[in-house]
Amino acid sequence: MRIYATRESELWARRVFVDVRLGDRRNDMRLIAVAAGLCDRPGGKVSAVFRRTKDREAAYDFLENEHVSPEAIVEGMAEATAKKAKEFPFVYVPVDGTSLSLTNRTKTKDFGRIGTHTAGASGLKVLDALAVDPQGVTLGWLDLRFWNRPTEPGPPMTTYEKQARSPDDKETRYWLQTIEAVAARLDAQGARGWFQIDSEGDARDWLLKLHQTGHDWTVRNRKDRNAIFENGDVGRLRAQLATCPPQGHYEFEAQKTEKRSARTAWMAIRVGRVDLPLRDQKTGRITKMPVHVVWAREEGTTPEGEEPLDWLLLTNREVTTLEQARAVVHGYALRWRVEECHKTWKSDGCNIEETQLQSTHAVQIWAVLAAAVAARIERLKLLSRTQPELPASVEFTPIEVRALVLLKRRNKKRAEVIGDNPTIREAVLWVAELGGYTGKSSGGPPGALTIRRGLEALNQAVEMLLALAEAGGTG
């Protein structure tokens, strides 16, 4: 039967890496095979992903091949994501940094320092940009950038010397390179982005680079800076905005974290238009940048002993109405999509930090493939929550749907009726149940961990159907 010819993981790998060119057709084909294997059985260790000796050796050969460029893989993967982005009026682009903590007990691996020099931890620094559609569903990566920090501290510098350094001499350059690369990739496809960046992006070089792209952006204000208001007054943003009446109010469902309790927060929104005086620390030159400001702050619902929710956002989007202000806050809230992907990449889904690979080069290639798998897991999770009535066929192949239906019918409750064409919500739920999801007792809707486990179990069922088909069975 034709539908059994190709595994879904291989089709997925071809879609994600179709634009990658490694200079050798054999390496292009090996990329698809290794990525598909990792998609079938996500894991941090190559030996845990590839059980057969020949597959494992082939994967090691590919990862350690000096002619395979991790940058070329990222470029092709990002191009495929940008092509998907052009299907929408715009895409949110959360940009964030993280670290991969990697074992190096013998100090023989070429990893750099992460954290403080005294801590002695090793690994890679990472900066990445994710594409998220207007409904909040992950599309894929638009950039991934790795680097090693020096293992030894440099010569001491004064505060002025640190501030006066060129961006090319600081890690700022990776942020600027990512912003520029993402904008160029979106421009090449005629797509539009809306960058979402946390408070570390509230600095002169970041803001000017974002302005130069011509795309939309929102940056969280890092400190209560001075600004020039429309009436000519100069003052602190919060102090000046506090004198204005709220544009409106809304309720926000705050999730429980280590520092706050779960609650329905009553948020007041104030807006303004200001010029930011951006000073070049080296030359003293000041550039005035016009921006809109959206200040969302909790009022009257903050529990005793906690800080109120407070987001002061800078944006180049026009904001004159409550609806426009809410859109800015909503977009910034989706910045957490990239942090959710980090968690799935590093722990809940792909466990990339468990890798035992010996070189930065090999780890980078493996990490890029694992990041793509993590984005797929997050996409399934979010589609099932935001667009539950879509057919399962938008993300699963016919043979996967067939396997899910058969497994569900085998384990269904007495009164359940299981049709042949499940929705994406039903399919992801069934996948999660294969991975140990138990419904409400699991603490919420299916998450990345149970989806990842379920996809591995589903793959085993698909392999059995493939074997039956090849042996002449009915499937």
Name the 3-class secondary structure at 39: helix
> pTM to 2 decimals?
0.92
User: Final residue of a domain: which of 329, 344, 359?
Assistant: 344
Percent of the chain with pLDDT over 70: 95
Structure-block tokens of residue 113 = 């320092």
Q: How does pLDDT run across 336-370, given as a tens digit for each residue?
A: 999 999 999 998 789 999 999 999 999 999 999 99
Amino acid letter, residue 267? M
Examine the fold and report which residue of 344, 379, 407 is the final residue of a domain before the chain moves on. Answer: 344
Query: Is the pLDDT confidence value at 420 over 90?
Result: no
- Give me the phi and psi of 198, to 5 degrees please: -75, -175
Task: Output the six-digit token pair for 447.
Answer: 């998450």
Domain shared by 119 and 223, yes or no: yes
Would you say residue 168 has pLDDT above 90?
no
Angle at the Cα of 205 (from 199 to 207), degrees rounded to 5? 55
Please write the tens of the pLDDT for every residue from 361-415: 999 999 999 999 999 999 999 999 999 999 999 999 888 999 999 998 887 776 6
Domain boundary pick from 344, 379, 414? 344
Q: How far apart are CA 211 and CA 290, in angstroms?
A: 10
Residue 164 sits in which domain range? 71-344
- Same domain for 338 and 409, yes or no, is no
Q: Are 298 and 310 in contact (CB under 8 A)?
A: yes
> Residue 313: is its pLDDT beyond 80?
yes
Least confident segment among 140-144, 331-335, 344-348: 344-348
Interhelix angle for 424-434 vs 448-470, to 10°? Answer: 90
User: In which residue are the tokens 């090793």 written?
Assistant: 122
**Distance (Å, whole) CA 98 – CA 96:** 7
Assigned token pair, 474: 């009915």
Q: Is the pLDDT of residue 465 over 90?
A: no
Bigger pLDDT: 411 vs 120: 411
pLDDT at 1: 28
User: Which band of pLDDT confidence, cut at 50, 70 and 90, is reported for residue 117?
Assistant: low
Residue 439 has pLDDT above 50, yes or no: yes
CA-nearest of 354, 466, 456 to 51 is 456
Residue 382 located in a structural domain: no
Does some domain include residue 84?
yes
| pLDDT single digits (tens) 272-292 | 999 999 988 778 899 999 999
Query: What total number of domains does the chain contain?
Result: 2
Residues 190 and 135 grouped into a single domain: yes
Distances (CA, A) of 404 to 197, 247, 299, 350, 448: 39, 49, 48, 22, 18
8 contacts: CB under 8 Å, gap ≥ 6: 396, 397, 399, 400, 462
What size, in residues, is the chain?
475
- pLDDT over 90 for what percent of the chain? 72
**pLDDT band of 4, cuts 50, 70, 90:** very low
